[in-house]
Structure 1
């Protein structure tokens, strides 16, 4: 006997629907059976955090992730989350985690004291950006003196 695809009921075909009960079903392991225990736990924790939506819940997620996930897994998770955001929001989120000093404040205590205080709070990209901008803004003579100073410090270290 033939069905609408032109194959007999004895021959199983992908589009057969009349005799799908006769098609043997290969039962494999479910995804949850293949998952690592720590991944299952973190999936549940993520669900709790999404449900609660509180700052405390997300801090707890962070603490548990540090224990249950590898650094590579946490980095991939962070990358995926940041990649899903608009650039400005991703930048603000990363700065909140990494730390950011923002723009240097006006100098009240005398240049170097304020600069050093600001530099303690600045993240790496801020330090590099302001250092380069400050260097480029210097006169040629000041650039030469600065280069001499950092060369002497490097030699002394």
Structure 2
């Protein structure tokens, strides 16, 4: 009896990303753009244009972080790197986002602290947008 040869699966093209994940990310970006635009216009009209700019920068950092998380998970699922390599990737991503936010807050005082509000707002909007499919599913049952 001859043992069957086992061939590893061939991954072609882009790795699989669940449609819900892509839709949630897209919804987060749209919500952040709309809410960020409204908040930035209101703050600029009130005379806080620099804080508005820093808040929008915080939203952009939040979106960048979310995108990098998505790419990191896809890479982890396809390449299966070691946990240490994955942890280094997570820590370096968070260090980059934190360093940019702290630098903005430090060099553009006091308006630069709005970058943290933008980051927090993006995280809140991402959570809200990820709840939409769950609420829909619960209502269907």
**Fold similarity call, TM over 0.5:** no
> Radius of gyration: which is bigger?
1
Question: Taking structure 1 as the reference length, what is the TM-score of the superposition?
Answer: 0.21
Question: Taking structure 2 as the reference length, what is the TM-score of the superposition?
Answer: 0.22
More helix by share: 2
Q: Which structure exhibits the higher relative contact order, with contacts defined as CA atoms closer than 8 Å and separated by 6 or more residues?
A: 2
